[in-house]
Amino acid sequence: MRSIQYKRPQVDKIKQAFLSKKPLLQVIIGPRQVGKSTAAEQVRNLLGWPAVVESADSVLPHRPEWIENHWLRARKLARSKPALLVLDEIQKVSGWSEVVKRLWDEEVRLGGLVRPLILGSSALLVQRGLTESLAGRFFLHRFNHWSFAECQKAFAWNLDQWLYFGGYPGAAAFVGDEGVWKRYITDSLIETVIARDVLQLQTVTKPALLRQLFALSATYPAQVFSYNKMLGQLTDAGNTTTLAHYLDLLETAFLASGLEMFSKGRPRKRGSSPKFIVWNNALINAISYKSFAETQADSGWYGRIVENAVGAKLLNELSGSEWSLSYWREGDAEVDFVLSRGTATWGIEVKSGRSGKVSGIDEFQRKYPKAKIVMIGRSGIPLEEFFLRPPEEWFNEEIIK
């Protein structure tokens, strides 16, 4: 096993951003345990500046004064050269964005040398603070779950290992003992994220239901699951509005999403049966009873995790409002994914050997003749090649005709 001190590509970009003549707040957002804190430490070492490094990740939320106190500490260090201020899990501080705005505007006005690096693991709360209070003052760096290319470089994993063990670098040390690995993922990752990044920060009236919903999504990855069917399987499920809201909360914590159905030229059809996509395959296989070897031997289940990994790659790496990911179904005909950007639409079919699957590509093309078709897997883009390259290379109007 190679060292987990792998330097993610964003590290050098953050370093260069701090050396820019026009400084901005640098913000890292992404899931837990994907190397945000490690990246901050690497940036600190590359810059060689004095630094104040603090985390707000505690059981009880910090008050806004917590930010101001550490900012003042950094100012005392910033004399002949800049000082780095790293504030981790910033979303845990109530009113954080207003305090940061006031202090940063003061820093710029007075020509101060404090250079903040802000980290957060809740997409909703961090981005809400950025857009509401800090517009024009920050640059956002997205740290996604580790890709196959990164795990191959850092740990020499092959594709099947990545499809099973997912992209959590801290868990890589435990893959030799699958029982330990599964417990690490469930206890140190899944439960921590749900408890600290969802339940602690959001109003959730039915915590047990939210946990059940996540377990359901990880049990049925890459499958369309109607809300009525969920109501029948989940205890104290309430109504479909509650379930849809809880799916949104799971997405803001980078755990799972419910893709909606593409229909009538619109990227999404609200209220449709969601298609579960889990953002990291480790979250699926950690709660599955199947071992690595059993997963390889079960073509149906293997097909599911391959399809989920394709959807997760698109969700992780095609961020921003210009991209929209959905699925399409009409009767028995189904297209695995529909990707939209502006007026461009791609129908995506994943061929991984799963039996009993009825392709709806021909029907989809008849209904949407301007849509481009991308086949991934057998008789299409080879799986390894697809996962190794950035998705923008495959979904480009100038490349794919």
Best CA proximity match to 164, nearest among 299, 314, 312, 280: 280
156 CB-near residues (< 8 Å, 6+ apart): 1, 2
- Percent of the chain as helix, strand, coil, to the nearest 5: 45, 20, 35
pLDDT of the residue at 267: 47
pLDDT of the residue at 358: 58
Please state, in angstroms and rounded to a whole number, the distance separating the CA atoms of residues 282 and 308. 11
Q: Is the pTM of this model over 0.85?
A: yes
Homologous superfamily assigned to 10-142: P-loop containing nucleotide triphosphate hydrolases (3.40.50.300)
pLDDT of the residue at 125: 65
Domain boundaries, the chain: 10-142, 177-393
pLDDT of the residue at 399: 44
Q: What is the pLDDT of residues 203-250, one digit of tens each?
A: 889 999 999 999 999 999 999 999 999 998 888 877 899 999 999 999
pLDDT in tens, the chain (401 residues): 444 478 999 999 999 999 988 889 999 999 989 999 999 999 999 999 999 999 988 777 788 999 999 999 999 999 889 999 999 998 888 888 999 999 999 999 999 999 999 998 877 667 777 777 888 889 999 999 999 999 999 999 999 999 999 989 999 999 999 999 999 999 999 999 998 888 877 888 999 999 999 999 999 999 999 999 999 888 887 789 999 999 999 998 999 999 999 976 554 545 679 999 999 999 999 999 999 999 999 999 999 999 999 999 999 999 777 899 999 998 888 999 999 998 899 999 998 765 555 579 999 999 999 999 999 998 899 999 999 999 999 997 654 44
State the distance between the two ends of the chain, measured CA to CA, in whole angstroms. Answer: 41
pLDDT of the residue at 393: 92
Amino acid type, 242:
T
Please state, in angstroms and rounded to a whole number, the distance separating the CA atoms of residues 18 and 110. 18
> Cβ(119)–Cβ(37) under 8 Å?
yes
pLDDT of the residue at 47: 96
pLDDT of the residue at 129: 73
pLDDT of the residue at 401: 40
Instruction: Report the DSSP pairing between strands 323-330 and 333-341.
Output: antiparallel
Q: What is the pLDDT of residues 50-72, one digit of tens each?
A: 999 999 887 777 889 999 999 99
> Cβ(376)–Cβ(353) under 8 Å?
no
> Cβ(65)–Cβ(176) under 8 Å?
no
- Beta partners for 81? none
